[in-house]
Amino acid sequence: MTIERLKKSKQESEERARRQAQERQEAAGLIHGRGSADGRQWALDHAEYDVLVRLKVLEPSSNSDNRARPNTPSTVTEFVRLILPNHSAMVFWATLGKKPSDPDVNSTAYWNGFIEGALAVLDEVEADDL
CB atoms within 10 A of CB 21: 10
Give the separation between CA 41 and CA 86, rounded to whole angstroms: 21
Q: Which of helix, strand or coil describes residue 101?
A: coil
Q: How much is the pLDDT for 65?
A: 46
Q: How much is the pLDDT for 22?
A: 83
| Backbone φ/ψ region at 97: left (φ over 0), alpha (ψ -120 to 50), beta | left
pLDDT in tens, the chain (130 residues): 798 888 888 888 888 888 888 888 777 788 899 999 999 999 999 999 998 998 888 765 544 444 445 554 456 777 777 778 777 777 887 888 888 788 887 788 888 899 999 999 999 999 876 5
Q: How much is the pLDDT for 70?
A: 55
CA 47, 66, 32, 73 dihedral sign is negative
Give the separation between CA 121 and CA 65, rounded to whole angstroms: 23
Alpha carbons within 13 A on the beta-carbon side of 118: 28
CB proximity list for 109: less than 8 A, separation 6 or greater: 28, 29, 31, 32, 35
Q: How much is the pLDDT for 66?
A: 44
Q: How many domains does one find in the chain? A: 1
CB atoms within 10 A of CB 111: 25
Range(s) of the domain holding residue 69: 2-128
Q: How much is the pLDDT for 61?
A: 52
CB 109 within 8 A of CB 31: yes
Q: How much is the pLDDT for 107?
A: 83
